Structure formats: C-alpha cells, structure tokens
A and B are shown apart, each in its own frame.
Chain A
Amino acid sequence: AQTVTQSQPEMSVQEAETVTLSCTYDTSESDYYLFWYKQPPSRQMILVIRQEAYKQQNATENRFSVNFQKAAKSFSLKISDSQLGDAAMYFCAYRSSFGNEKLTFGTGTRLTIIP
C-alpha cells in the first residue's frame, strides 16, 4: 500500500518570502500522480498543483512549483512571494495510475503567513 508522509506539522513564513513544504511517499509503482491540495479555514479542498510521475519536468502554477525527485520519492511544494491568502493546511496526495483511483493523503502541514 502506498503511504504519504508530511514531516512538518506546522510552518511559518514572512509575507513575500519563499517557503518549501516537504512530502515523501512510498510506492512500488512506476507510474502515478502526485498532488498538493490546500485547505483554507473554509475547509474547502482546493487543488494547487499536480505532477505526473512519468514527466521529468517539475510542474509550475504561478507562484507554486514543485521539486519532484522520483528516485528519492520526494515531492516538495515551493510557494514564492507568500501572500496572506496562502495561509492554510496543505496536503500532499498520491494517486495510482492503475486500479484504484483513490487519493492517499499525508497528514498535512499548517502554513502560517506572518505579515
């Protein structure tokens, strides 16, 4: 079974600075998808960014980018120019490319933005 680990329960960053959230996962599969979801105080789950394992290029969405290291099974999220609206819980998630399409989530990192 796949597992996802987020070792940082809480992180904080000054507004306008850059922060990196860590995620590692364990799988025996060679093809899969990885996601970062944001959960603000409203509790809505919002997709931030996704990465296909077969793509070597790291995904980027505006101020959000990932560092995907397939051999190390690492998938970190970098947020540049942090804004107050980035304050939320961030969840890393794994989805197999075969069989069950469920998302397996990490335990989350609570990000605080310091004005």
Chain B
Amino acid sequence: DSGVTQTPKHLITATGQRVTLRCSPRSGDLSVYWYQQSLDQGLQFLIHYYNGEERAKGNILERFSAQQFPDLHSELNLSSLELGDSALYFCASSADRSWGNEQFFGPGTRLTVL
C-alpha cells in the first residue's frame, strides 16, 4: 500500500459524459501528479500540482482539467468523453520538490467509456 488513495476504482460511462476522479496523496506530500495509461499511448504524464498550484502540464486534452484543494487532495475532471479516453488513470504523490524524490502511485481508476 503506497498511501495514495484514488476513487473510484472503476468507472463506466457513456460518450459525451463528464466524470471526476479523486486522489488523496500520502500524508504530508505536497505534490500530486496525474498519469494516463492507455493501450495505444502507454503511460503519459498529464499534469502536476504542488501545494495547490499547477506546476507543469503534459499531454492533457483541453476537455480535461484538474485542481488541488487546500487539504491537498486532487481531482481530475474529464468532460465530453470519447471512446479513446478509456484508460487507467493514475495519481502519484511525492514529498516536496527535492530532486529525485520518489513518486508513490495510487492504485488507479479504470475508466471505460462506452
């Protein structure tokens, strides 16, 4: 158990819908990262938040958005869902901005868009 929690574990929805994925980092971790794992694109970085502020964006679609709240939990919002958005979405957290700090991964949320 990494200490990072993600809810829900599984999500099945229809095209055009909107969903919210939730992540709670390890106690004390200020950084939250979101990654997408799909069959055709592999593991890809989406976005990084540090202590409530966006730090870096990766290959995140405009239909996707994220935020980190004062209690440090984070939410990834996916809207106007398409079949290709079906993937495993991971959240990871790390302690601070010290270089090389390990990123601890949550169990992931499996999203299926029908």
Q: Hey, which bits of chain A sit against chain B, CB under 8 A?
A: 33, 37, 42-47, 50, 52, 91, 95, 97, 99-108
Set of chain B residues within 8 Å of A101, measured between Cβ atoms = 31, 33, 48, 55-56, 94, 97, 99
Flag if B108 contacts A43 (CB, 8 Å).
Answer: yes
What are 29 A-B residue pairs whose CB atoms fall within 8 Å in the complex?
A37-B105, A42-B107, A43-B88, A43-B108, A44-B2, A44-B107, A44-B108, A45-B92, A45-B105, A45-B108, A46-B105, A47-B102, A50-B102, A52-B100, A91-B43, A97-B99, A97-B100, A99-B56, A101-B31, A101-B48, A101-B55, A101-B99, A102-B56, A104-B45, A105-B42, A106-B42, A107-B42, A108-B42, A108-B43
Flag if B100 contacts A50 (CB, 8 Å).
Answer: yes
Flag if A100 contacts B100 (CB, 8 Å).
Answer: no
User: What is the CA–CA distance of A105 and B105 in the complex, to the nearest angstrom?
Assistant: 14
Flag if A103 contacts B48 (CB, 8 Å).
Answer: no
Nearest CB in chain A to that of B47: its residue: A102
Set of chain A residues within 8 Å of B45, measured between Cβ atoms = 102-104
User: What is the CA–CA distance of A108 and B37 in the complex, to the nearest angstrom?
Assistant: 12
Output the least CB separation between B28 and chain A (Å): 17
